[in-house]
Structure 1
Amino acid sequence: MQIFRIDATFERHEELLALILYAFSYMDGLIDPPSSAHALNLESLRQKIDDEIAFGVSDGERLVGCIFCKPEADCLYIGKLAVSPQTQGKGVGRLLLAEAEATARVLSLPALRLLTRIELTGNHRAFAAWGFIQSGTMCHPGFTRPTAIEMRKTL
């Protein structure tokens, strides 16, 4: 497994978009509202790469994981952490989160922050095992109930 920076030189946008959509597809019918991954297209993905700090993981020629990081005032926000279902459980997510931690340290940011949907209790457990602690809840626009939990990891 090899980790690399996804930046303006990256040329595998179709493969990256397919990875994100495939990795997030298990959420279809489980979460409400649907994942924002469905709003991604090649143009918006290119913009996301320009606007955020992204990393990918390859296993030989195949792209098997990615993470997008966005600096905020007091933390590094983690978004679109995606791991191919065939390689889940093999350390790809841990490798990507370690790169996010290293990035936060370089940027002198003391924590990582992410959102995970209320319904995805397996994700809550996985992030807790990686040192994240629930720090709040949020409601998506148009909802009166919490739809996601915020989790933070102090570095």
Structure 2
Amino acid sequence: MEPHIRAATNEDLQAIEAIVRQAYSPYVDRIGREPGPMLDDYSFHISNHYAHVIIQDGVVQGFIVLIPENEAMLLDNVAVAPAAHGKGLGRRLLNFAEQTARKSGYGSIKLYTNEAMTENIALYSRLGYLETHRVEEKGLKRVYMVKRLE
């Protein structure tokens, strides 16, 4: 069955939180603490219609959190269950983010990731995101990136 993306509901909360634990736990040792996504309030994101899930074969396999801001759409988080890696679901979610940003009238999409998540920085760079700056926030060393939408 073809994967599809829909708005997250309260029924998806446990699946989202499980994916967050699976996806970000490997970074705890590297960063020295839980990464920002492990501290987020996903109930808040769901109730504000910021969270979307990708479903394959009736199971939540990943999610994305998009937050409208003044100057750009913020791609606050994207994660796919490790068991579903390599199926193109993350790419679908990132394409969804760009489509959503364009439909909302944004000319760019921005994100941030921890500087210790070098794989993510490399991936986003390959996808056309450019680093804008680095800053320490909430005790986390973040790398901000932006992609101009055409």
User: What's the TM-score, normalizing by structure 1?
Assistant: 0.86
The one-letter code matched in structure 2 to 1:24 is Y
Residue number among 77, 97, 101 corresponding to 2:98 in the alignment:
101
Cα RMSD (Å) of the superposition? Answer: 1.8
CA distance in 2 between partners of 1:28 and 1:104 (Å):
31
The one-letter code matched in structure 1 to 2:39 is A
The one-letter code matched in structure 2 to 1:131 is G
1:16 correspondence with 2:11: no
Give CA-to-partner distance per residue, 1:86-141, whole Å, 9 cap, x none.
22222111100111111111110111100011111111111111111111111123
The one-letter code matched in structure 2 to 1:94 is R
Distance 1:52 1:150, change over 3 A: farther
User: What's the TM-score, normalizing by structure 2?
Assistant: 0.89
| Structure 1 unaligned spans of 5+ | none
Secondary structure of 1:21's match?
helix
CA distance in 1 between partners of 2:139 and 2:114 (Å):
15
User: Aligned ranges for residues 26-37 of structure 1 at < 5 Å?
Assistant: 26-37=26-37
| Structure 2 unaligned spans of 5+ | none
Post-superposition offset of 1:21: 1.6
User: Aligned ranges for residues 1-155 of structure 1 at < 5 Å?
Assistant: 1-7=2-8, 9-40=9-40, 44-142=41-139, 147-155=141-149
Post-superposition offset of 1:22: 1.1
Give CA-to-partner distance per residue, 1:45-92, whole Å, 9 cap, x none.
221112242221122022111100001111110112111112222211
